[in-house]
Chains A and B, each alone.
Chain A
Amino acid sequence: MKTLLLSTALVALSLSPALAGKAFISNERGNTITVVDTDTWEVLTEFDGGNRPRGIIVSPDGKKLYVCASDDNLVRVFDTETYEELPSLPSGPDPELFTIEESGTRLYIANEDDNLVTVTDTNTREVLAEVPVGVEPEGMGISPDGKFVVNTSETTNMAHFISTEDYKIKYNVLVDQRPRYAQYTADGTRLYVSSEIGGTVTVMDIAEDGAPTVVGKLTFEVPNVQPEWLQPVGVKVTEDGSRVFVALGPANRVAVVDGESLEVLDYILVGQRVWQLDFTPDQKYLLSTNGNSNDITVIDVAAEKAIRSVQVGQAPWGVAIID
């Protein structure tokens, strides 16, 4: 009865005239998803997200929200309008991060406990393949042409390039300790892989056939911050590739990097233990999830400045944004 009332209220809300964008934040400890209006930066609502929600993405059509409910060992699915829960997807054990192809059909999920990447069909809700990778798979990036999925394995310290045609690993590239996140540029010619414990981001150029070549490494230095706390996790690149933003974990900063020269231009002070990042679809704003201060920071992308923070649930982990 309560749920019914709540969903009625939410439907009423979603009928309100403002067609503002929405940010969905997974709260790892709170077991909830916070919804934030990206115009007013007000919290719209918070709903149950399953046990230990971490990785969070939206289907390419913007209609479905996918959440890795790590302790439930499945991917929970929600309607982005009504927040109603839809049938879950099988994910393999302990899903943490995932990525989806442009058509919205195949979901690629990292299973931290099983050294596997699970490929799940979002329509039939069937597991299409399980790809053995290195120890503790975590980061998942997909090439813009959809031909490769890159998985990072935290204890093996590699980026594994998996062909989406035959689900075979075509290339392995050693990176620094505990790689967390893999992010292609929009044109697919470059890939950034962050190494949390190594304190670096490995930069690779990607050839037309998808073959990677390591061309550089980002390192970070902040006065009065111990180098041990400069732990790169989330990475996002602007559409034109000119700016790379790197979340630096317990350093409580997001680094701004020149995508051409690979020089670090600035460090934006955000909340505590910054994990993941996402742009608003128009790329005007970048949001960071700050796990230890229970808030998100809104960064003005053009100005490269933090403009405000919004209190969300307990231990915010990931963020996904729609129009």
Chain B
Amino acid sequence: MLKHAQALLASLIFCIWAGSALAVDVRAAVLRVDYPTLLPVSRHDLRAEDIGFAGAALADEDNGTTGSFMGHTYETLTRAVPPEGADAALEELLEEGIRLIVVQAGAEDLLRLSDRAAEDGALVLNAAAPDTDLRDDQCRANLLHIAPSNQMMADAVAQFAVWKKWGDWLLIEGSNPADMALGAAFRRAAAKYGAEIVEERTFEDTGGSRRTDSGHVLVQRQLPTFMQGAEDHDIVIAADATDYFANYLPYHLWTPRPVMGSGGLKPVTMHGAHEAWGATQFQTRFEELTRRTVAPEDYNVWLALRVVGETVTRTSSAEPEVIRDYALSDAFELAAFKGQKVTFRQWNGQMRQPILLYDGRITVSVSPQEGFLHQRSPLDTMGLDQPESQCTAFN
């Protein structure tokens, strides 16, 4: 009887091998919208021409190696367009028959593109937009989020601060809408973990060039004055999504305190010095292929296409609905150099993943922190949890 069962199973397995002869050609695209922005505060943060696309190139290689044993091939087109060209670029990709699209764009464009893609049955993977609304009442059934939300990032920082018992925060928020959205996430995080925001200040964005030959002279005089006279605090939390002041904060405060958030200790999905959990191999593969170090957006795009690759490997299908359903199922799991599998929240399409806390040189810590528990997964202590999310598109 057992022999029979084994023989049956053997023929089944054989079918899987034979099935690999059924070729699957996976065609995907990365659509990147390039917004006019000022240069970053630090030259280290200059955006590479191939930002995101480099992650796609590595994903094609990684997926292709696995595919070579399965009879699957991977090809990913890349399109970089100004905001006004985004819709036309999407039309073109859809016309070419592409139904798996990774998008690097702001929330407004992302939603419009996702809705258009939905009309043609295409699946969109968000590799950039951090807006919590997209995981809340603005969620879309054909939109999976690889990039973490502002709330996940803020919670990652908050958990570390609370673990350190640094519970009194001075929140410095930028004046742009994106900065304020991030500031709101830090306020929610403080409430969630029992930290107290003892004082809030807004650092006005007055525009203009961010760097001059001797800019540090002005910064050194002006910032301490801006920071003086604050309530007693353990740390400074910076909410500067537009990158115009937070990087100046460390060393220019009135009261010497650690800075976290957009300056000092930053939450990221990946950085070029991360080595734990086998990440060294990821880094060396990436650098060999692209001749530069990895940026979080490269990793996000790589991860988006690895979700596709992993699903194709397990299902032998590249149909967008098969990929979506498998990714959202209990069966889905993916190793991503984070020490535990990454999976999706089935109620809003957000990928759960550990967040690295990076000081610009090394991984200082990784959240979720020890002791933050959740009935489903410790990863769900970060970001919108099911009862908090107004998303209904996944019901």
Measured CB to CB, the residues of A under 8 A from B are: 94, 112-113, 115, 134-136, 153-158, 160, 169, 171-174, 176-178, 196-199, 205, 207, 211-215, 226, 228
Contact = CB atoms under 8 A, between A and B. Distances in A.
Given A198-B333, A213-B6, A213-B9, A156 B281 contact: no
Contacts, number: 78
Interface string B322-360: 000000000001110000110000000000000000000
Contacts of B335: 154-155, 157, 177-178, 196-198
Given A113-B284, A215-B6, A177 B341 contact: yes
A228 B340 contact: yes
A134 B65 contact: yes
Interface string B6-19: 10011001001100
6 contacts: A112-B278, A135-B66, A155-B335, A156-B69, A213-B9, A228-B378
Nearest to B7: A213
B377 interface: yes
Contacts of A197: 333, 335, 340-341
A213 B66 contact: no
Contacts of B378: 226, 228
A214 B333 contact: no
Interface string B278-301: 100100110000000000000000
Contacts of A198: 333, 335, 341
B10 A213 contact: yes
Interface string B123-150: 0000000000000000000000000000
A174 B377 contact: no
Given A134-B69, A158-B69, A198-B333, 8 more contacts: A155-B66, A171-B17, A177-B333, A177-B335, A197-B333, A211-B10, A213-B10, A213-B13
A113 B281 contact: yes
B314 interface: yes
A159 to B, nearest CB: 11
Chain B binding surface SS class: helix
A135 B62 contact: yes
Given A112-B281, A113-B284, A174 B313 contact: yes
Interface of B: 6, 9-10, 13, 16-17, 62, 65-66, 69-70, 278, 281, 284-285, 310, 313-314, 333-335, 340-341, 377-378
B281 A172 contact: no
B369 to A, nearest CB: 13
Contact of A156 (B16, B17, B66, B341): B66
Contact of B278 (A134, A136, A158): A136
A198 B333 CA distance: 7
Contacts of B281: 94, 112-113, 136, 154-155
Contacts of B9: 213-215
A158 B66 contact: yes
What are the 6 A-B residue pairs with the smallest beta carbon separation, nearest first?
Answer: A156-B66, A197-B335, A178-B335, A177-B335, A228-B340, A213-B10
A135 B9 CA distance: 27
Contact of A154 (B17, B70, B278): B278
Contacts of A134: 65-66, 69
A1 B50 CA distance: 55
Contacts of A215: 6, 9
Contacts of A214: 9, 13
Residue of A112, A173, A177 with highest tally of chain B CB at under 10 A: A177
